[in-house]
Chain A
Amino acid sequence: MNDNGNKGTDNTILTVSHLNTYYREKTGRFSSASVRRQVLKDVSFDIKQGEIVGLVGESGCGKSTLAKTILGIVKDYEGTVEHGSAGAQMVFQDPYGSLNPAKTVGWILEEPLRIQGKLTDPERDERVARMINLVGLDESYLKRKPNELSGGQRQRICIALALMLRPRLIIADEPVSALDVTVQDQILKLLLKLNRELGIAILFISHDLKVVYSVCSRVMVMKDGHIVEQGSDEEVYKSPKHPYTKQLLSSVLGD
């Protein structure tokens, strides 16, 4: 599987054009009146097959809202979001809320296949076993429940879950922020491995600039719902143009 997308002229799997996303927010503490706020402003970018693109910004700038809009969770928007034929899946931020505590790991991983309904029982079992090995865990984990796993193990399961339906794009929202430092490395390496071996594109959302640099080839910087700068990793990190980017970089690197 080549990861350069030499499959034809158009290997773009996601195109976002002039996206404005809105969100209803309650005004008073007790009244049910609400105000429609604009969270994303004129966002445009694309992602090509096999790329790892980073999205950095501080909390509240709209990164998660962008993810939700692309996936169709948030529906109040103007502009266009075009997926290729294959879908997108998400790896959530909090490994402690993203797995159903009442079910076993095996059940959780099989569920998307059950819903899809295309495979037979043994085919499903086989795919689940393959997937759990792919993320570095053995099949004994299938019988366990999420609360028996560590943060790093849970995140591996979340990644496996996102891959079950073979999406072309994974949106990872702060995938390592809640993990211990020594474990972050392993998960990042896992994401890199999956990207290289399966050709899956990743939209890597994080507030941590160093982590984004370590795995992404292209980077977008977001502030207050705008993408203020985007370019290759070297361009954005070594020769930033926008003052906000420079400010972010200086607080991380210098002192």
Chain B
Amino acid sequence: MLDVIDLNIEFHDHITPETVVYDFDLHLDEGEIVGIVGESGSGKSMSALAIAGLLSRKKMKKRGQILFDGVDLLTCSRDTLRKYQGNDICMVFQEPMTSLNPVKRIGWQVGESLRLHTELSEDEIRNKVIKMLEDVELQDPESIYDKYPHELSGGMRQRVMIAAALICNPKVLIADEPTTALDVTVQAQIIKLLKKINKKTGTAILFISHDLSVVRKLCSRVLVMYKGRVVETGEVNEVFDFPKEEYTKRLIAAIPRMEKLEYE
């Protein structure tokens, strides 16, 4: 369904061009959950933004192909891209505080994609939104519909973001560090929710994170990125239990464990 072939991304707003992603390959089938792990500067977010079509066409040079159902998203027209964005390919970001528009009510924001991509009436949109808010396990969706983002907690806002992303029944949900800014107990709930949704609707998930333990719980396959390249990839349990690359081993060793730190 989604094939990224040989993606290279270069920054062009400084005097010397800077390559941030090298030779990135990815294959995503329907209903799969794939994780991309890496630390800051690894290029994982850039790759995700490229797939979502959110990178500027002028300041960044991209080589390679991003094939979605056969259409190359890097070279197609803006109109074609817009058809896919928010409809078949949706994204959830890290900061629930800034990804929601603070002056618009929740109901309006979640329904926005429907307004843009379908011909439904306002009433039909409202019903769908409320159903979606229920599906993301928000209590009392009717009253949340009329609330503003600042009236909700971080976890609730993230659920709203997920609702907004899923309302058009996308084929791919790209989640960029969706749990990083949340408390530990809420993180666990959001992961469970994503798993549930994937099973129920068959939406493929591309899950980006620096947190390996979370990726292990959720994903079936994983790509490990370091300084712009994919250094290792494979089934999640294999990569964790039998890492081949140095960096992967380091990353796994650095996972916080419930054990005392040794002072040499």
Contact = CB atoms under 8 A, between A and B. Distances in A.
Q: Do A and B bind each other?
A: yes
A210 B257 contact: yes
Contact of A214 (B184, B187, B259): B259
B210 interface: yes
Interface in B217-263: 217, 250-251, 254-261, 263
Interface residue tally on B, bucketed by range: 20 to 34
Interface in A150-188: 151, 180-182, 184-185, 188
A237 interface: yes
Contacts of B256: 181, 184, 208, 210-211, 214
B263 A196 contact: yes
Contacts of A209: 184, 258
Interface residue tally on A, bucketed by range: 20 to 34
A69 to B, nearest CB: 22
Nearest to B217: A255
A248 B188 CA distance: 11
Nearest to A57: B183
Contacts of B255: 181
B210 A248 contact: no
A247 B40 contact: no
A212 to B, nearest CB: 10
Interface string A202-230: 00000111110111000000000000000
Interface string B40-72: 100000000000000000000000000000000
Contacts of A255: 188, 217
A253 interface: yes
A151 B40 CA distance: 10
A180 B211 CA distance: 9
Contacts of B258: 209-210, 213-214, 237, 252-253
A59 interface: yes
B154 A59 contact: yes
A189 interface: yes
A58 B261 CA distance: 23
B121 interface: no
Nearest to A249: B258
B29 interface: no
Contacts of A189: 261, 263-264
Given A180-B39, A211-B256, A213-B258, A193 B251 contact: no
Contacts of A237: 258
Interface of B: 39-40, 154, 183-185, 187-188, 210-212, 217, 250-251, 254-261, 263-264
24 contacts: A58-B185, A59-B154, A180-B40, A180-B210, A181-B39, A181-B211, A181-B251, A182-B254, A184-B256, A192-B261, A207-B184, A208-B184, A213-B258, A213-B259, A214-B256, A214-B258, A214-B259, A214-B261, A215-B260, A237-B258, A247-B185, A248-B185, A251-B187, A251-B188
Interface of A: 58-59, 151, 180-182, 184-185, 188-189, 192-193, 196, 207-211, 213-215, 237, 247-248, 251-253, 255
